[in-house]
């Protein structure tokens, strides 16, 4: 099915099941420990051995020698896999560096060997007996230093320009020119990267934690040099990903190589201290923002430049993306530059681009509002636009940013905010409020599904879509139930298996809208088959209350399939609506903080997010997504930072003891409001994504609240108390 015109009224609009705040259907399994994660699959591959990865002890250079003799003699050792005996390995198109290093080393903790043994403890002990000698070489580990050699990325959209930014900025009566920095950050998901692999002849099955099943299958096949049809990937439950499990990673490949060498199933999990340097992370940025305005607050010039780094062949952090679209202004410029760094691979982390970009832009907007002596919300609304500022001929399909900000201001009590920093005190605490706009593009992806109606009248949905804790099982079941007129208890959902039709997968905030649209398409096919078997006209058949009816005749679904099941399979593909209309999601984040007047300690006191993100398919799971994203935003603002050893080239705090994330005591009352909207240009579901919108802007809202409370403007994240104390001397940091 192709979606290339605005969706008129369709069965989803009945909203008998879709749009309801139903409990997650996978919740009881997870609460009772019955949801099998990859490393826990003892039933599918009996007699599995255990692999333990040996990680590189240098960041750049070569392996001179690797002595395996003592490790091979260790108790329980079955085999050891290295680049020398693994056979010729290709490279998946989504991997920046080889997943198995040797002799060249691309980054610290790159996998260089896998020791396979009867037990995990034996594999770990033997791995510590592998003796590797290196020829370490100098590397580039500091973005600030490497920035001078950064180059324009190959992407056609690395730079954009409209009007004459330099001239307009020079003539602007009111100007801001400031530099902001965001650090490297870790996904820090609960479930580690873990896989179990088993070969059957020349075919391999991998039970793994992977957000994008088909991508993983393609890249595994390419790396092994075998047909895609010889690889099956199964990932029904994932304990968090945030983009860190979008791609094939070392533990999955090495489980496959280990199983082939050991001739038996092998499971491999990355120990937590090895995850941060071995897998991907959100790269650091240096961002320069320049804004010029008239005295009455109309932006005449806006420029945003960003520098980030990655391994050779990597990609930039697209931190200028939102600046191209969020505010009006006739003269515009954005630019990205990419430095080569010998750090672990930088790649997608929840809301890549917009999350760190808004951390800078939305402070700059507040700083500009202060220069203009305008309320920060009024300044944002004054520069609202209903068209793409870089392509004025392209309108937004929906854009309700101003409404989000106004509603949030009323609900949060913004009128009580004192514009003068440091004007509100609660005992030892200086109290302030901050705001930031939220923005994240709406992306759609082709997505397929198969829906069967079995003899009992149960609908069974099969798609390789994944659930990373986001509620995919539930919204997919709601979609099928709505389309077929069944109670949700009569729908079973099977996910995360490459044997099923290829879906959008979980990433980029496209998963919920796109995967349910694919189920919608399959259900349309199934509805046609059901109506024809019942002798009804498919064009006017109505599905409700477990039956199909037309022209005054109603037939129970169970009776239609009593002699044999019916199947509908299709995929949702998209035309050019996303080119005719700019499709985005919007919101407003409001934060109140307290800053200890003596110590500089920061405490978030309350938070509010108002979101405009199309039809909300399940308000309960959507709220969970947003409050989780808000929590990540607090972490990014106040504590998260991968500390780099700039001599040796690795992230020092590579575990959850040193890499700090928010805990329950850090997170206060959170409120989420969803505007009642549908976007018929997006999909037949008229939905968008919301899981990444919730993090976009939170960091800046916290920073702006800290400034309003204390008068300290910190432009270098994270905003730690030492920076606040230093800023109390009167300078921006």
* 196 and 267 housed in the same domain: yes
Residue written as tokens 């599905």? 543
* 242 and 94 housed in the same domain: yes
Mean pLDDT (the chain, rounded): 97
* 422 and 519 housed in the same domain: no
Quick check: is 308 in a domain?
A: no
Question: In Å, what is the CA distance from 172 to each residue of 288, 368, 384?
Answer: 17, 12, 19
Domain boundary among 554, 579, 604: 579
State residue 7's pLDDT score: 73
Quick check: is 383 in a domain?
A: no
Domain boundary among 528, 562, 579: 579
Residue written as tokens 């930088």? 346
Give the integer Cα–Cα distance in Å for 141 and 252.
27
Asked if pLDDT for residue 329 goes beyond 80, the answer is yes
Q: What's the rounded mean pLDDT across residues 343-364?
A: 98
Quick check: is 321 in a domain?
A: no
For residue 72, the domain's CATH number is: 3.30.365.10
Quick check: is 294 in a domain?
A: no
* 573 and 451 housed in the same domain: yes
* 468 and 410 housed in the same domain: no
Contact between residue 186 and residue 642 where contact means Cβ atoms under 8 Å apart:
yes
- Judged by phi (left if over 0) then psi (alpha if -120 to 50, else beta), residue 62 lies in beta
Judged by DSSP in three states, 380 sits in helix
Residues linked to residue 181 through DSSP beta bridges, in sequence order: 286, 716
State residue 733's pLDDT score: 63
State residue 563's pLDDT score: 87
State the total domains in the chain.
Answer: 3
Asked if pLDDT for residue 601 goes beyond 70, the answer is yes
Which residue range forms the structural domain that includes residue 262? 39-138+189-274
Which residue from 150, 529, 466, 94 is spatially nearest to 308, judged by alpha carbons? Answer: 150
Encoded tokens for 108: 């610290």
State residue 9's pLDDT score: 81
Between 354-372 and 619-638, two packed helices, what is the crossing angle to 10 degrees?
Answer: 70
Give the integer Cα–Cα distance in Å for 374 and 614.
31
Quick check: is 499 in a domain?
A: yes
Asked if pLDDT for residue 432 goes beyond 70, the answer is yes
Strand order in the sheet with 49-55: 77-82, 111-117, 49-55, 266-269, 194-200, 203-208, 231-234
Quick check: is 665 in a domain?
A: yes
Radius of gyration from C-alpha coordinates of the chain: 27
Question: In Å, what is the CA distance from 75 to each residue of 105, 115, 121, 257?
Answer: 29, 12, 10, 21
pLDDT, tens digit, for every residue of 135-162?
Answer: 999 999 999 999 999 999 988 789 999 9
Q: Is the peptide bond before 103 cis (omega within 30 degrees of 0)?
A: yes
Residues linked to residue 625 through DSSP beta bridges, in sequence order: none
Quick check: is 21 in a domain?
A: yes
Contact between residue 472 and residue 511 where contact means Cβ atoms under 8 Å apart:
yes
Lowest mean pLDDT segment, chosen from 72-76, 218-222, 560-564, 725-729: 725-729
Quick check: is 575 in a domain?
A: yes
State residue 5's pLDDT score: 85
State residue 731's pLDDT score: 58
Give the integer Cα–Cα distance in Å for 2 and 572.
6
* 620 and 675 housed in the same domain: yes
* 470 and 565 housed in the same domain: yes
Residue 597 burial (10 A CB sphere; 0-12, 13-18, 19+): middle
Residue written as tokens 């409990």? 23
Residues linked to residue 151 through DSSP beta bridges, in sequence order: 338
Contact between residue 687 and residue 679 where contact means Cβ atoms under 8 Å apart:
yes
Domain boundary among 244, 259, 274: 274
pLDDT, tens digit, for every residue of 630-645?
Answer: 999 999 999 999 999 9
Question: DSSP code of 17?
Answer: S
Asked if pLDDT for residue 336 goes beyond 80, the answer is yes
pLDDT, tens digit, for every residue of 50-67?
Answer: 999 999 999 999 999 999
Q: Is 692 a catalytic residue?
A: yes
Give the integer Cα–Cα distance in Å for 592 and 573.
43
**Positions of E strands within 526-649:** 542-544, 547-550, 553-556, 566-574, 584-596, 602-612, 644-645
Work out the pLDDT band at 260, boundaries 50, 70, 90.
very high
Cα end-to-end distance, the chain, whole Å: 53
Contact between residue 362 and residue 704 where contact means Cβ atoms under 8 Å apart:
yes
Asked if pLDDT for residue 73 goes beyond 70, the answer is yes
* 449 and 565 housed in the same domain: yes
Residue written as tokens 């595994």? 220
Q: What's the rounded mean pLDDT across residues 334-339?
A: 98
State residue 198's pLDDT score: 98
Which residue from 640, 607, 606 is spatially nearest to 719, judged by alpha carbons? Answer: 640
pLDDT, tens digit, for every residue of 81-116?
Answer: 999 999 999 988 898 999 999 999 999 999 999 999
Considering the candidates 305, 362, 641, 692, report the single residue annotated as catalytic.
Answer: 692
* 490 and 636 housed in the same domain: no
Calculate what percentage of the chain has a pLDDT beyond 90: 96
State residue 730's pLDDT score: 61
What are the residues whose beta carbons fall under 8 Å from the beta carbon of 337, sequence distance 6 or more? 147, 150, 151, 152, 153, 305, 306, 307, 308, 316
Which residue from 496, 625, 449, 469 is spatially nearest to 210, judged by alpha carbons? Answer: 496
């Amino acid at each position: 099915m192709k979606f290339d015109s605005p969706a008129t009224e369709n069965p989803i609009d009945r909203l008998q099941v879709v749009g309801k705040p139903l409990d997650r259907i996978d919740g009881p399994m997870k609460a009772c420990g019955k949801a099998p994660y990859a490393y826990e699959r003892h039933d599918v591959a009996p007699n599995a051995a255990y692999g333990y990865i040996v990680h590189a002890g240098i960041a750049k250079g070569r392996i001179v020698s690797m002595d395996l003799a003592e490790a091979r003699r260790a108790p329980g050792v079955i085999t050891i896999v290295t680049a020398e005996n693994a056979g010729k390995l290709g490279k998946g198109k989504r991997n920046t560096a080889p997943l198995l290093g040797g002799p060249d080393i691309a980054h610290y903790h790159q996998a260089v060997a896998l020791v396979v043994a009867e037990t995990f403890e034996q594999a770990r002990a033997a791995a510590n007996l592998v003796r590797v000698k290196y020829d370490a070489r100098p590397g580039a580990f500091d973005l600030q230093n490497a920035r001078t050699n950064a180059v324009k990325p190959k992407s056609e959209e690395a730079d954009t320009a409209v009007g004459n930014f330099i001239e307009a900025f020079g003539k602007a009566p009111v100007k801001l020119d400031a530099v902001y920095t965001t650090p490297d950050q870790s996904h820090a998901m609960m479930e580690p990267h873990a896989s179990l692999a088993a070969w059957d002849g020349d075919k391999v099955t991998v039970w793994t934690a992977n957000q994008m099943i088909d991508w993983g299958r393609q890249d595994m096949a390419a790396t092994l040099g075998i047909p895609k049809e010889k690889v099956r990937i199964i990932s029904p439950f994932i304990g968090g990903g945030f983009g860190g499990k979008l791609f094939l990673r070392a533990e999955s490949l090495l489980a496959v190589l280990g199983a082939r060498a050991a001739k038996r199933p092998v499971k491999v999990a990355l120990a937590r201290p090895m995850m941060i340097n071995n897998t991907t992370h959100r790269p650091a940025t240096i961002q320069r923002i320049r804004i010029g305005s008239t005295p009455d607050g109309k932006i005449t010039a806006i420029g945003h430049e960003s520098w980030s780094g990655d391994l050779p062949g990597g990609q930039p952090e697209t931190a200028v993306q939102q600046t191209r679209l969020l505010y009006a202004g006739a003269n515009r410029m954005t630019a990205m530059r990419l430095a080569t760094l010998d750090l672990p691979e930088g790649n997608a982390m929840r809301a890549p681009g917009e999350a760190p970009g808004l951390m800078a832009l939305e402070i700059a907007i507040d700083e500009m509002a202060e220069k203009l002596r305008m309320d920060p919300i009024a300044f944002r609304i004054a520069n609202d636009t209903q068209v793409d500022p870089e392509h004025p001929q392209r309108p937004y399909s929906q854009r309700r940013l101003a409404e989000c900000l106004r509603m949030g201001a009323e609900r949060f009590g913004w009128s009580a905010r004192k514009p003068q920093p440091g004007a509100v005190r609660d005992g030892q605490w200086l109290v302030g409020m901050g705001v930031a706009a939220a923005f994240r593009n709406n992306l759609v992806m082709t997505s397929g599904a198969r829906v069967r109606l079995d003899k009992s009248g149960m609908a069974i949905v099969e798609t390789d879509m994944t659930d990373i804790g986001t509620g995919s099982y539930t919204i997919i079941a709601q979609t099928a139930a709505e389309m077929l007129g069944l109670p949700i208890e009569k729908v079973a959902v099977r996910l995360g298996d490459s044997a099923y039709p290829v879906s959008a997968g979980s990433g980029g905030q496209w998963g919920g809208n796109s995967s349910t649209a694919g189920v919608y398409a399959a259900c349309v096919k199934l509805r046609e088959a059901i109506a024809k078997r019942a002798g009804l006209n498919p064009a006017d058949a109505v599905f409700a209350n477990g039956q199909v009816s037309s022209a005054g005749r109603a037939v129970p679904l169970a009776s239609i399939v009593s002699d044999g099941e019916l199947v509908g399979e299709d995929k949702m593909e998209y035309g050019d609506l996303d080119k005719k209309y700019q499709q985005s999601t919007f919101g407003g984040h409001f934060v109140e903080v307290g800053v200890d007047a003596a110590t500089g300690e920061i405490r978030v006191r309350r938070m509010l997010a108002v979101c405009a993100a199309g039809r909300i398919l399940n308000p309960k799971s959507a709220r969970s997504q947003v409050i989780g994203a808000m929590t990540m935003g607090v972490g990014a603002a106040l504590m998260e930072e991968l500390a780099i050893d700039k001599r040796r080239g690795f992230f020092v705090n590579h575990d959850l003891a040193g890499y700090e994330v928010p805990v329950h005591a850090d997170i206060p009352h959170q409120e989420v409001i969803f505007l009642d909207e549908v976007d018929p240009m997006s999909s037949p579901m008229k939905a968008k994504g919301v899981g990444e919108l919730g993090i976009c802007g939170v960091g800046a809202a916290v920073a702006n609240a800290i400034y309003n409370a204390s008068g300290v403007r910190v432009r270098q994240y994270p905003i730690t108390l030492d920076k606040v104390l230093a800023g109390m001397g009167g300078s921006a940091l």
